[in-house]
Amino acid sequence: MSMKDLAPRGFLTTCILKSLKDEPKHGYKLIKSIKEGTGWEPSPGAVYPTLHHLKKQGLIDEEKEGRRISYRLTNEGEAIVEKIEENMKGMKSKFHNFINIMGQILEIKESELKKIKEIHNNKERRGFIFLPTDIKNSLFKTRDLISKISQNKKKHKNLKNVLDELYFKLKKLDGE
**Residues 31/44, Cβ–Cβ less than 8 Å:** yes
What integer is the mean pLDDT of 158-172? 88
pLDDT digits (tens, 9 = 90+) for 27-44: 999 999 888 877 788 999
The answer to whether residue 47 is domain-embedded is yes
- Same structural domain, 55 and 104: no
Whether residues 98 and 134 fall in one domain: yes
Residues 129/89, Cβ–Cβ less than 8 Å: no
| Cβ pair 16, 50 in contact under 8 A | yes
Residue 17: which domain range? 3-77
pLDDT at 118: 74
Interval 103-159: pLDDT, tens: 888 888 888 877 777 766 664 444 444 566 677 778 778 888 888 888 888 888 898
pLDDT at 7: 56
158 lies in a domain? yes
Helices H / strands E in the chain, number of each? 8, 3
Count of structural domains within the chain: 2
136 part of a folded domain: yes
Q: Is residue 82 part of a domain?
A: no
Q: Are residues 56 and 114 in the same domain?
A: no
**Domain presence at residue 40:** yes
* 86 falls within a domain: no
CATH number at residue 15: 1.10.10.10
- Say yes or no: 147 and 122 in one domain: yes
In a domain, 85, yes or no: no
Q: In the predicted model, what is the mean pLDDT of residues 17-22?
A: 92
Asked if 96 and 44 sit in the same domain, the reply is: no
48-52, 68-72, 112-116, 140-144: the lowest-pLDDT one: 112-116
Q: 58 and 23 in one domain?
A: yes
Same domain for 70 and 95?
no
Strands (E), the chain: 25-26, 60-65, 68-73
Q: Are residues 118 and 67 in the same domain?
A: no
